[in-house]
Every structure is written in C-alpha cells, then in structure tokens.
Chain A
Amino acid sequence: MVDFSSAYVNSVKLPKGNRTAYSPSLGLAWVISSEDFMSSVTAVDYLKLRVSAGLINSDNGIDGFYYFDNRYETSGSYNWYEGAWGNSGVVSSNGGNRNLFFEKRKELNFGFEGLLFDRMIGVDANVFTSVYYDQVIRPSTLYPNFYMSFIPYENFESNAYRGAELGLTFNKNFGDLSLVVGANALYANSEVLKKDEIYADAYQKRTGRPIDAMFGLVADGLFQSAAEIASSDLQVFGIVKPGDIKYVDQNNDNVIDQNDEVQIGRWQAPFSYGLNLKLAYKNFTLFAQGTGYMGADSYISGDYYWVDGNDKYSEYVLNRWTEATKATATFPRLSSIANTNNFRNSTFWLYKDNFFRVGRVQLTYAIPESVTSKLRMKHLSFYVDASNLLTVSKQKKIKELVVGSEPSYRSFSLGVKTMF
C-alpha cells in the first residue's frame, strides 16, 4: 500500500516570494501476513509493517502578520515648554527580514501491528522521530542588547522529538473466566538542537538537553550561623540570614548568582505507561484502568509552600528553621518581608514526580436472564464504580493537595442499568 499526499501551502504571514512551500508526505505499508511465504507460519495471524515520512511546512509558529517588515511604532513621549508641546518617541518594533520562511518539520515513523497465537496476543509498536527546525524567533543573542528593537524575526531554532511506543493486548477465555489485559508504554524524549542562547559556562547551555529541562540552583542545606554565611560564597539574591538556603557555586567564581543555575530536572515524564484489565466471570465483570508516569520532576511552590510577609502560614512551615530547631528544621527561616533568597527554583523545593494512578475501577453484576425475563426486562445489572481511586507516589500528599481551586476528589458511584 502506498499513500502519497502533498500540499502546496501558502502563507500571507511571509514576505512576497517566500509565501509558498511544498509539503510532501509518503506512507508505505506492507501486510506481510498476506504474502504467500507467510502462510506456513501459523503463529502469526496478522502482521503489518508501516513506515511514513514527511516534510511539513507551517506558519503556525508565526503568531502575527507583517513580521517580515521593519515596523515602527511610537513609544514614550517628551514634553517641552511646560507640556504645552510634546511629541511621541518613535522606535522600531522589529527589524525586517525579506528571507523569513516557513517553519519546517521532518517526520519519520516506523511501526508494525500484529495478532499472534490465534488472536490471543495483539502487538502494536511504533518508533517516531521528528525534527522541528527553522522555528521563528527574534534571536537576541546575535545582537547587542541595545539593538533589541531592530532584531528581526528569523528562522532559527530547532528541536527534535524522538520516542517509541509499544502496546500489548492479551485476550483469552478460561472456561467461564474471560480475561483481557492491555498494557502500553510510551517513551518520548526531546532535545534542543539549536537555541538562541549564550552562556559563559557550558553547563548552562540548553542545547543538547531536553526541551523541558528545569534549571535551578543546587541547594546545600540551610545556613546554621552568621559565621557560616560569612565564610561561604556570596549569594546575591537578597538578604541572607541564618536559616536561609545555602547554594552551591558551580563555576567557582565565589559568587552565587544566576550563572550557577544548572539542570536539576525535567518537567515532563519521558516514560509513561498504562494498564487496563477486564475480567469477566459468569455474571460478574471487573474493569480497572490505571496510568503511570516516570522521570518527571516538579517544584513545590506557591503561597502554600513559599510563605513570607503577610501570607497565610500553612502547616507546612511548622518545622521552620529557628535557633532552637536548627538541627532538625526542614523549612527555611520565616521572614516578614519577601524572601528573595529562598523562594527561587532550587533543588530544595524539587521532588520526583513519579506516580501511578488507578483512574477507574468498576465491578458489574448482571442479573441472569432467567430472572430478568420474569421481570419483563431485557437487561438488568448493578455496578459499583470508583474513579481516581488511588494514587501511588512518594509525594502523594503534594500531588493530592490543591490550593486555591477545587480540591481533587475521589468519586464512588452505585448504579443500576436496565433495558426493556
């Protein structure tokens, strides 16, 4: 099977002469199981290989019109003769770029699906890779900061996404017992290939790291005394007192500032999986479904955890640092004004965001037909259903606590279903 499609796309967001682009894509599939030489392989009921590739041009990332033009606007004003006269300042809002072109995406997918052993086992697997490139931004690191208003929109940044998916189903009857088990796993990763960035220290570069990389300071406990502060590297985020978070100097310049932020985690889980189960025995049916995520990190933040000044103080800060509790404190000192040293992204607030959530469990009992027919019903069943039943995580408390909006809840329901 061959599937070829192509589009000749046009975008009015681009300059004349660059408004059209050709986007072809091609898919090939081969049902091997239908081939003659496979007829002798009885274990394989169905097997299809597929591969697809495409080059896609898009203007989705260009969020406005005339970005190719050097546009001017007014900004600020100066008055003279006691304000009887005045005029607005005129500045460029962006530089012009006659070469602005589509953002592009290259895609390649490879996969197969099959049914094995008399349709007992189903397999669906897929490997994908896509590269987004020529993404439109205004590259500030190519120009001095004072040239900002003249920086043009350029096709510049590039990111890659890669991953693999595997789905398995198992389907079998054992007498009165029928069992369907499904499992799927997804691994998806990303990488920054080209970014508008410049850092003196290589460890700060986002290029080569996942797009969702989290950058922050590495915390090294809490300062225990003024003497310890005096003998440590200078931290330049605000007032530092005993009980404040101490950070690690990454570039050994004896000053702790934004240049000491390193990758300390990532926002999105690269690995996720799902399980579902359907078990039927005579008139009983049990259904359960759950999903899990692994490899992501998150910060605790917000006024519940980052409490200072006139905020409401949560129980989370009970074990704060004081002279008396310095050995056991798990929270920095409290502060009557904003604490700009502690409340910033650092490993102090970081937690591993791995969890498995049982989303739904349902048990159904269907009244046998012999009874329903007497009741002149076609069908009658009772069920118990629970959603958001269980979260398995080391950080269950953080995950289940919602501050400032509707709390998360578990719901249970009992139901009757009839048909006449």
Chain B
Amino acid sequence: MRILKIYTLLLILSFALGSCEQLLDPEKDNHSTKERVYEDPGFAEGLLMSAYVRLPTSSLSYTDIATSDGVSSDKLNSYLRMATGQWSAIFNPIDQWQNCNEAILYINNFIDIIDTVAWKWTNNEMNSLFARRFYGEAYALRALFQYHLLVSVAGYGTDNALLGIPLYDKTLNANDKFNTPRASFTESINKIYADFDKALLYLVDDYKDITSLSQLPAGFTDVTPVTATNTYNIVFGSWTAQRISGRIVKALKARVALFEASPAFSADDPVLWAKAANYAGVVLNSIGGIAGLDRVGHRYFDNTRVDAINLANNIEQKEIIWRSAIVASNTRESWNYPPSLYGNGIINPSQNIVDAFPDANGYPISDPSTIYNATSPYLNRDPRLAQYIVYNGSTFAAKTIKTGLGGGFNAKDSIQTSTRTGYYLRKLLREDVNLDPISINTNKHYEVFIRYTELYLIYAEAANEAWGPDVAGTNGFTSRDVIRAIRNRAGIVQSDAYLATIAAGDKAGMRTLIRNERRIELCFEGFRFWDLRRWNVDLTEKVRGVQINGTSYTYVDVEERKYDNSYMHYGPLPDKEVVKYNLLLQNKGW
C-alpha cells in the first residue's frame, strides 16, 4: 500500500515537472535556416555561390603529370600514384562525383527560390532583371557541372551500354529515392545542351554597361522590360564580369560538342563534328574569325600581360573568355620553381613533350627535313619550347638553370625536389616572383576557365574531322587556317613549309598535327589527360627524361604509365556509391 502511494506521488511529480516545457526551450543561438533565404537576398544568392565555389577549374589541376607529358618530383603525389598503377574506384584523385553533384544540388535548390525571393523589393523592374540573370546563371552552371561530371564518369557500364550521369533537376529531400540509374550518354549530353540553351534565353553575351536604352540587347524590351539604363547596368552591367555569361555558355557548348563527337564516345559522325565546329565558329566569328586570334594569346600568363589588365578601364586580355578574379600569390611558383630558386620543382615536363615541339621551321624533329640537331637539341626549335619549359641552360628568373651533371641542386635527381626528367616548368609561372625567404613576394595571378585558343583548337579539330583540312563550312575559315594562324603566332618560320606538306584531303595527317598543336598550346593546363581518353589512344607511353653530361645526351625512362587500355579511357564512379545503390552501374573494368 505504501509502495503504491510513493509510486503515485512520483508519477504526479514527474508529470508536474514535464509541464515546465515552455521554460525549457533552448536559448536562441542565431543559426540560419531556410527561412533566412527568403528574407535575405544576399544569403539566397549564396546557394548559387555554392556552385561557383565548386568550379572544378578554380584551381589548376596538373593532371598532365598523370600522362606522358610529365612526372611529379613529389613521390607521394596522388596523380603520380594514379599513373603508376594505383588508380581505382577507391583511390581516384580526379573524382568529381561529390563536387559536381553537390553543386547541381545547390543550383536546383536555388532555382526553386528565384521567383520567391525579393531580390530588390523597392524596384520591380530590377527585381525581375535579377531573377532573369539568376535563372540564366543557374542553368548555365548546372550544364557546366553536368559536363565536368560526365567527363569524369562517362563510359561503358557493366551492362555494356554507353552511360552518362544520373540526372537531377529537382530539389532532393531526405526521404526521396536516391537509387537513381545513370542516364545514357546521349541523354546526358542532351540534358547539358538543353540547360545551356535555357541559359541563353536569359543571359546576355557580355556584361557591359549601356549608355542609352537603344543599346539594350534583344529580349529586354519585350521579355523583361527595362526603362532605365541604370537598372540594366546594375544587373547586367560591367560589374557582373567574371560571372557566367552568354558568351561563355556558347564557348562551353563547343567544348561539350567536341567531347560528344570524340572517338571514345561516338562513331566518326560528321554531323557531330560539324556541330562542334559550328558552335566554335559562331563564337570565333563574333571576334572576327582568324583575325581575332590574340597575337600573344599563347603567352597570356606573362608578367606584363597580367599586370596590364584593368577591368575598370575596360582593359582585358583578348585571349580570355572566362577567368577568375586576379589575386596576388606565389603558390604556383613555390610548387614549381627549381630548387636553387627555393621552389619545390614538382612538375617536371618530360622528354616526350619536349620532343613534341617542332623545329623552328615547323617540322617535327623526327621528320627527314628537320633542322633539329641531336647534339644541340634545344637550338632551332619552336619558340614555344623555351616559353613553356625550362631546359638545361635556360635562363629562368634571371638565373641560368643547369639540369645536367654539375648543375648543383637543379641537376636531375640530385635532391628530393630536383627534376626527375631534366626539365622544369616555365609555363604559367611568373619569373618576377621571388621565393628567397629574405625577400619573398607575391604577384598577380588568375585561373583560366576558358580561353580563345582552346576554342580555335576545337574548331580546327572538329572542322578537320567533319570536312577535312580545307573546307570552311559556313564559318568562312578552315581547319588549316586556324593551325596556320596558331603556328604563325608561335613564331614558326613562315610560310610554314611543313603545314603545306599536308595534302588537301589528308584528314589523318592534319589530325596528327592538330592534336600535336593542342598538346603544345594547352600543355600543363589539365587538358592532356582527358584528351588522350576521348581520342581513345594509348595511355601507357613511358615517360622519358634526359641525362646530360656536357654535350652528351642520354635519354632514359623515368616512369611507367601503368594504365589498362582496355577500360581506363573511362573513369570510375566512387566505389561506395555503387555499393550503396544497385541501380547505379559502375563502368566496366573498375
């Protein structure tokens, strides 16, 4: 009986305490929730910024050292590990799965709220202009991330079908089904074009201020009315530069089309090649076709060229389509300067790429007509060799760099940070950066997202495949015209006799030359690794280097490229994701 009383008392007491709930709310800790998105336009835009933050090009990835173009002097470098046989679905340094899908996830969340958020509640006109630009940016970026994801995983799945990426274009909730199959390669590509085309309905080609309403681009009088130049300038004016624009989208479409038409993904299809050529042609013709080629675009990273940029005064490099904002740094230099200049000498260009540079007359060094001389291999070469690569005897940052015997720390294999090939990187480095600890400095750098030279090379490659070296299509210039202009710019002695040796109908001969020009022009910018894959060519060429003793040059193997040509043209999906979701098929071989 007594027990019962205690029991009852306890129960009453405990319920009494339970009712104090209102007093026991957690202290407000000022955390943000989705609500803030609707109240704070800056915060709402942050969802879109989360996509910009994840741009894969926002820091240069030197995947070139996972090809025969170079090696890393850092033996623990993940690209080195990948290239020497350790690439797998578990160890995948070039994985884009999480990064790109995350960006797409936030873009989809952003698209959902564009119409709801009051971007400028005091000005209806400006509000709808903001919404317009945001739609354009969101679709454009979604296409871009889908493209990067597709590049990293497109391939033949375990079902032998050519697969693409899972397509997400809605906000995902925690209780949604995530076991989504990959769309086919074609569906994925079409989704990318569809998003780019949607973006083009909203975006303008270039973010430029207007001074009168008559300068308004098409679509602004009827679709989104503008009655004041200032309203337009705030949203679409010059201060929006370096965000994704219509011109960038058009250029990216050419990049996607080239990828789609490439041998790894399509049987040689002239329609696809022509599409790529025409996408590139449209943008190139908007800057004057061949005449629009930046005369110094192959040296866009030179000190003076970078320092001359001044957006406020409308001074931008002609070469640039899209780049990051300029920041002062010396990261790239401390990575790659030779050890005598306090650098870590990480990227070591290979003998293979050095050999890819023609002689001064433009002949490959293996051609019988070459003026190349094996006893002085760096003389009489394409000027780009000296501009991109530091070799034995080069002057770099006002110092002579010796990579041969007796070259001190810079000599091949002398200390941990010495070159392993006999070469150091010069491209993209600023020689006015000083890493000496007593007078260390930084200088202006930017990251290129896309530049015109790539677009010219896309045109050359696609036009040659579609129509041959000398057919202009509807664009007014031919594949050969582009290659001539690029080689002329580089300083190949005119009239480029070697180029003339390629016969009018010799698509294959032209292809070899175009691929070589692409290799040189875009070297160490992260293209080569994916180019080899989309071309479906041998991935296992050994990396060679040079041992120099006085005037004797001994060429040696430096590192193997242990790829399996039977499946490694297509990258892996993350192992864990494939285990989690049975509908998500892995590519064959991984």
Contacts and interface: CB of A to CB of B under 8 A. Distances in A.
A113 interface: no
Given A10-B21, A90-B37, A337 B76 contact: yes
Nearest to B238: A81
Interface stretch (A141-149, A284-292, A353-361): A141-149
B34 A82 contact: no
B50 A337 contact: no
A72 B36 contact: yes
Contacts of B102: 146, 148-149
A336 B416 CA distance: 9
A77 B58 CA distance: 12
A13 interface: yes
Given A71-B31, A83-B326, A90 B101 contact: no
Contacts of A257: 88, 90-91
B305 interface: no
Given A8-B17, A143-B178, A146-B98, A77 B241 contact: no
Contact of A4 (B3, B47, B75): B3
Contacts of B11: 6
A80 B242 contact: yes
A20 B416 CA distance: 62
A398 interface: no
Nearest to B103: A146
Interface string A81-109: 11111111111000100000000000000
B467 interface: no
A198 B579 contact: yes
Interface stretch (A177-185, A233-241, A314-322, A406-414): A233-241
A13 B27 CA distance: 10
- The interface residues of chain A, by DSSP majority, are classed as mixed
Given A12-B25, A255-B88, A87 B46 contact: yes
B174 interface: yes
A167 B65 CA distance: 66
Contacts of A12: 24-26
A10 B23 CA distance: 11
Nearest to A140: B576
Interface residues of A, number: 66
A129 B90 CA distance: 39
B32 interface: yes
Contacts of B309: 82
B325 A10 contact: no
Given A198-B576, A199-B579, A257-B90, A66 B18 contact: no
B416 A234 contact: no
A69 to B, nearest CB: 6
Interface string B211-242: 00000000000000000000000000011111
Nearest to A81: B239
Nearest to A85: B239
B140 to A, nearest CB: 14
Nearest to A97: B174
A81 B311 contact: yes
B88 to A, nearest CB: 6
A22 B18 CA distance: 10
A143 B416 CA distance: 43
B26 A90 contact: no
A71 B32 contact: yes
A10 B22 CA distance: 11
Interface in B324-366: 324-327
A19 B17 CA distance: 12
Contacts of A78: 49, 52-53, 55
16 contacts: A6-B11, A12-B24, A12-B26, A22-B14, A66-B31, A70-B33, A75-B50, A77-B49, A86-B325, A89-B49, A89-B50, A95-B174, A144-B580, A257-B91, A258-B90, A336-B416
Closest 4 CB pairs of A and B: A90-B46, A8-B14, A146-B101, A78-B52
Given A81-B241, A257-B88, 15 more contacts: A66-B31, A77-B53, A83-B326, A83-B327, A85-B239, A89-B106, A90-B37, A90-B44, A90-B50, A144-B580, A146-B100, A147-B178, A148-B102, A150-B172, A238-B76
Interface of A: 2, 4-8, 10, 12-13, 16, 19-20, 22, 65-66, 69-91, 95, 141, 143-152, 198-200, 234, 236-239, 255, 257-259, 336-338, 340
